[in-house]
Amino acid sequence: MSPRIPSTPKPTEAELGILNVLWDRGECTVRELHEVHYRDDGAGYTTSLKMLQIMHAKGLVERDDSQRAHVYRAAISKESTQKRFLSDIVQRVFDGSSSQLVLQALGGQPQASREELDEIRALLDSIESGKTP
């Protein structure tokens, strides 16, 4: 059985930065995104506009152009994007072993917080009982 080919391309690092803003805020005009995401690095407004146009063409964002200022929102969810990147990392770096990824992540620094460990235990309990989330 071959892996499912995603309908949208995997976002680049720059595109992930923009998606993080959109996931956090819900939707933005080009100006709003530019002020939040590019405010400190000196990139021009046209950089924001061009990135959003490229991402729209790729299907990574949706655009509402019913008003003068176009409004953009993520077309892909944060969760599905995380799963996609994680699946890729598991295959390429950990030879398909998700348990090796988890062991490496939990054994690294900084240590997981008490709350994170409780969440992990709850997830493991649900998996063992056959009730995956």
- Amino acid 2: pLDDT: 43
**What per-residue confidence (pLDDT) applies to 94?**
92
In the predicted model, what is the mean pLDDT of residues 81-106? Answer: 89
Cα dihedral 102→91→17→9 (10° resolution): -150
Say if residue 42's pLDDT is above 60: yes
% of the chain exceeding 70 in pLDDT: 92
Residue 123 belongs to what H/E stretch?
helix 114-128
Please say if the pLDDT value at position 79 is more than 80: yes
Q: Read off the pTM.
A: 0.78
What's the pLDDT score for residue 9? Answer: 87
Lowest pLDDT segment from 45-49, 54-58, 85-89, 110-114 = 110-114
Interval 102-130 mean pLDDT: 83
Residue 133: pLDDT band (50, 70, 90) is low
Cα angle 66, 61, 25 (rounded to 5 degrees) comes to 85
| 107 — pLDDT class (breaks 50, 70, 90) | confident
Whether residue 90 is predicted with pLDDT greater than 70 in this model: the reply is yes
Rounded to 5 degrees, what are φ and ψ at 7? -80, -25
Quick check: 31 pLDDT over 90?
yes
